[in-house]
Structure 1
Amino acid sequence: MPLQMLILTVMCMWVLAWNFQAEATYYHRQTVHHEHSANMENLLPENLLPEVVPEVLPEVSQPVNSRTFYGIMFDAGSTGTRIHIYKFIQKDPVELPVLDNEMYHAVKPGLSAYKDKPEEGGNTIRALLKVAKKTVPEHEWKQTPVVLKATAGLRLLPEEKANALLDEVREVFGESPFFVPNNSVSIMNGTNEGVLAWVTVNFLTGHLYAKTRKTVGILDLGGGSTQITFLPKSKKTVFTAPASYIANINMFNNTLQLYTHSYLGNGLVAARLATLGALGADGLEWKVFTSSCLPKKFREDWTFGGITYKVSGIPDGYAGYKLCYYEVMRVVKGIVHQPFEIKGSSIFYAFSYYFDRAVESGLIDGSRGGMVEVRDFKKRAKEVCNKMTKYRPISPFLCMDMTYITCLLKEGFGFKDNTVLQLAKKVNNVETSWALGATFDHFNNLNIH
């Protein structure tokens, strides 16, 4: 059954009613290039949408009196910087625009890797702005807002180094021909990151529907941090959660209370360091960090955030899933809060490294994504860890990563084995990230109709 998108008035109500009220403290792939069309007609679904969404959407017809405009959002993550260039069509002067398509491009490493060379970090932004100049028509440049939000990579840096990078980005933005709003360059707090990703996914799947509270939860696993966000069905979830884990959104003249939290240091790459005992360690020039999660004969220098670590398997020791799980458990157990109702049957969309590692381990097809249960991650983690030599060409860290994901889901969040996860890189050909939600938020603040 083909997917029907949200009606324009839903988008109108959403943006006009948006008033994000969240409080949080700042904690803190090979180059990808593709273009795809979201082509959202935003028609109200006759019934609630199916969980598996089709990849191809109908073409957007553009009336004679319609106009087109663009928004540029930079996602400065811990392992890479991504640019999202959104094209919108406004069909009617009294209604808000329809998302037509998205251009996405990414470069590695992330800005945080340039903490001692901010000028070089600025050059990566210049390179991505060239993509924007080729994508956005020249006559639209001056009215196209450009925004950069940094996440865990910069949250983990000392304040002065993070500020130096942000200042460099501001200078690069100032040189660009695009419209630079106030506070266009910032570090986004983890609560906003989770909530805006939730808004993006629920908008694209059609669940932001004014007359129902049926939505999907989101699980985002980045390099430096991981987020969980969902709309609780039980008041006990709200009452038993730490106060800072509840965020309010005013939407459709109603206040929605979301459970959301970002765990700094529990992103996939940061968790590797924690598992190895290397996070915050000294003596990096001579120390070798070992783990049962790595192939016995594996040894090499590994760089994250501009710092190089010597990592190794245990040549004369044991390796495998059970020992690896024990190591990883220390990074998760007692650190990640378990929401009261998380053992329920709600559908969660999981993306970023959840998706990437599922593809690399053969759990899902990378072209389409797919539904899995938590137990499927556990089963595949055991296979990878007990055949490390087979999977080493894919990644020597695959056992550690798959075990960490399993442990995070089960021992951390407390999901049951049969909890269903919809693994997706894109929903309706738009990247599953907080970027679209953040762009909507900025359009409202800027009063761009």
Structure 2
Amino acid sequence: MSAQREMKEKNPWHTPVTIIITVIGVIAIVALVTVAVVQNRPLPQKYKYGIVLDAGSSHTALYIYEWPAEKDNNTGRVEQKHSCKVDGPGISSYASAPLKAGQSLRECMQKAEKWVPSKRHHETPLYLGATAGMRLLNMVDSVASEDVFQAVKEALQKFPFSYQGARILSGQEEGAFGWVTVNYLDERLKQGLETTGALDLGGASTQISFVSDNYDGSESPNNSVNFRLYGNDYNLYTHSFLCYGKDQAHRLKLAHQTQSGPNAVADPCSHPGYNATKKYSVLYDSPCVSDRKPQGAPATFHHTGTGNLQQCQEVVRNVFNFTDCKYSHCSFNGVFQPILQGGFGAFSAYYFVMDFLNLTDTTVPLEAVKEQLKAYCATPWDQIVQQHPKAKLKYLAEYCFSGTYILSLLTEGYNFTSVTYSDIKFIEKIKGSDAGWTLGYMLNLTNMIPAEAPDFPPLPHAGYVSIVTIIAVLIFILFLFSLRPLWPRCSKQQQIV
């Protein structure tokens, strides 16, 4: 028994000091590992959301955007996450029944309510921007326009989002934000690259926007917009032509053809064999043509097609005014336009029409494009209907005109040549986001939304380094103390020597 007690006393690992040092050492190691893991764990990314309703002349679409709560060069990195096309026509069509304008938005709004995380509902801004359709309605009947907006407001305020209002965008805003969208999605703004021009074609208006080295805004200040994005300044030329969207341009064309109030119109922009009876009152109920309605015209006229591209081009040319220009350069209708520069993205109706006609490949020579369109327009109407059984007849009847109008607008209106035509790229989406003004609008608005404080590690960097250093030194000292039982042996060995 005395022998066991003697061995235990001689074993240094059984001393109280050693046990204490071991416990403290284990605690220090655990603390060091814990601090390192907690400090360096991945931080959860916060996201914000925004909803924009594009109330166009022919339809309304809802877009949901998402971006990190922290900002990049004071501009949120916005991405489209969801879209919803509202059933029915544009809200301007509900002038006589405003409540239906608000009701039409309900289904898409309910989908948005499910898509955006519920904890973000109250802080998600909701905007409605109306374009040329509501511009025209406001010109004709401002009271009806206000009633439509009131109905829309009441409908949207029933949802748990942060409603920010509904308003009519100016044509200049529509064009400028479309330009921002195209260049943002191509990451040209972030990288400071040469920008791309934007060509937007809707039902009631069309916009052209681009940066030109030869334009400083002095010759036509009303067409100048300045942006600061990602630390860079941009002086943008932009102009919107109201009544020159494809639907209203079609009315302008028919108005020219019915100036004398005929009973029948043989239209080279419609397919051979096409025939329909149309009302003068319906044709001329738009402010774009209402002042041109011929006196003493019959109630209806018989609209037939002949399908001749060359003659169609001549008719389309009449909707433009190329004679008046008080500036150094003009597009049409006496509007200033600097010399075209760089590439262009053409979207909205540009894309949908040219895609239907299989003419989106701009590497194909312009003359070859015209030949293909010529053959399409000359195709009999019955054959066209058979080839596209699912297409709505109203749209199907206008593709010949729309294709001809687009080529005339680009080449004669905006001055693209057979050489520069290849600088145009017809686009629907860029990196999953729809091309259009809504993303640019949302991107611009993120500069006015305060950024949330980002998540930081629990400890500041200096504090983290200090704590790790102290624990490391402590562990080292404890390690030295753990070797204490060996110290006498080392000293005795030295004495023997």
Q: Is TM (by shorter chain) over 0.5? A: yes
Q: Which residue of 2 aligns with 1:50?
A: none
How many residues matched? 372
Name the CA distance, whole Å, in 2 between partners of 1:95 and 1:340: 31
Q: Which residue of 2 aligns with 1:425?
A: 428
The answer to whether the 8 A contact 2:52-2:442 is kept is yes
Q: Normalising to structure 1: TM-score of the pair?
A: 0.74
The answer to whether the 8 A contact 1:153-1:305 is kept is no
The answer to whether the 8 A contact 1:217-1:228 is kept is yes
Q: Which residue of 2 aligns with 1:45?
A: none
Name the CA distance, whole Å, in 1 between partners of 2:438 and 2:266: 37
Question: Aligned in 2, Cα 1:94/1:254: closer, same or farther, shift over 3 Å?
Answer: closer
Name the CA distance, whole Å, in 2 between partners of 1:172 and 1:256: 38
Q: CA deviation at 1:266?
A: 0.3
SS in 2 for 1:208: helix
Paired residue for 1:120, among 100, 104, 112?
100
The answer to whether the 8 A contact 2:66-2:81 is kept is yes
Name the CA distance, whole Å, in 2 between partners of 1:67 and 1:110: 35
Question: Aligned in 2, Cα 1:407/1:268: closer, same or farther, shift over 3 Å?
Answer: same
Name the CA distance, whole Å, in 2 between partners of 1:76 and 1:416: 33
Residue 445 of structure 1 pairs with residue 437 of structure 2: no
Residue 200 of structure 1 pairs with residue 188 of structure 2: no
Once the two structures are superposed, the pairs formed by residues 218-257 of structure 1 within 5 Å of their partners are 218-235=198-215, 238=217, 240=219, 242-251=220-229, 255-257=233-235
CA RMSD of aligned residues (A): 3.2
Q: CA deviation at 1:299?
A: 3.1
Identify the range of structure 1 (432-441 vs 75-84) with the bigger mean alpha-carbon deviation.
Answer: 432-441
Q: CA deviation at 1:133?
A: 1.0
Which consecutive residues of structure 1, in runs of 5 or more, have no partner in the other structure?
1-61
Q: Which residue of 2 aligns with 1:382?
A: 374
Name the CA distance, whole Å, in 2 between partners of 1:65 and 1:186: 36
Q: Which residue of 2 aligns with 1:48?
A: none
Q: Which residue of 1 aligns with 2:254?
A: 276
Q: Which residue of 1 aligns with 2:54?
A: 75
The answer to whether the 8 A contact 1:223-1:268 is kept is yes
Paired residue for 1:174, among 157, 160, 167?
157
Name the CA distance, whole Å, in 2 between partners of 1:279 and 1:447: 55
Paired residue for 1:299, among 272, 275, 281?
275
Q: CA deviation at 1:442?
A: 2.1
Name the CA distance, whole Å, in 2 between partners of 1:63 and 1:257: 41
Name the CA distance, whole Å, in 2 between partners of 1:246 and 1:279: 36
Q: CA deviation at 1:324?
A: 0.8
SS in 1 for 2:107: helix
SS in 2 for 1:130: helix
Q: Which residue of 2 aligns with 1:23?
A: none
Q: Normalising to structure 2: TM-score of the pair?
A: 0.68
Q: CA deviation at 1:122?
A: 0.9
Q: Deviations over 1:13-70 (max 9, x none)?
A: xxxxxxxxxxxxxxxxxxxxxxxxxxxxxxxxxxxxxxxxxxxxxxxxx953311221
Residue 357 of structure 1 pairs with residue 356 of structure 2: no
SS in 2 for 1:148: strand
Question: Aligned in 2, Cα 1:224/1:297: closer, same or farther, shift over 3 Å?
Answer: same
Question: Aligned in 2, Cα 1:72/1:140: closer, same or farther, shift over 3 Å?
Answer: same
Bigger radius of gyration, 1 or 2?
Answer: 2
Q: Which residue of 1 aligns with 2:413?
A: 412
Question: Aligned in 2, Cα 1:176/1:209: closer, same or farther, shift over 3 Å?
Answer: closer
Q: Which residue of 2 aligns with 1:160?
A: 143
The answer to whether the 8 A contact 1:333-1:411 is kept is no
Residue 436 of structure 1 pairs with residue 439 of structure 2: yes
Identify the range of structure 1 (108-117 vs 98-107) with the bigger mean alpha-carbon deviation.
Answer: 98-107
Q: CA deviation at 1:114?
A: 1.0
Q: Deviations over 1:402-424 (max 9, x none)?
A: 11001101111111112221111
Q: CA deviation at 1:271?
A: 0.7
- 1:391 maps to amino acid: I
Once the two structures are superposed, the pairs formed by residues 309-324 of structure 1 within 5 Å of their partners are 313-314=303-304, 318-324=306-312
Q: Deviations over 1:128-168 (max 9, x none)?
A: 21121121122221111110000001111122222211111
Q: Which residue of 1 aligns with 2:384?
A: 391
- 2:185 maps to amino acid: L
Q: CA deviation at 1:279?
A: 11
Q: CA deviation at 1:445?
A: 2.4
- 1:135 maps to amino acid: W
The answer to whether the 8 A contact 1:375-1:418 is kept is no
SS in 1 for 2:270: coil
SS in 2 for 1:180: strand
The answer to whether the 8 A contact 1:194-1:229 is kept is yes
**Greater strand share, structure number:** 1
Q: Which residue of 1 aligns with 2:316?
A: 328
Which consecutive residues of structure 2, in runs of 5 or more, have no partner in the other structure?
1-40, 287-298, 323-331, 389-395, 453-497
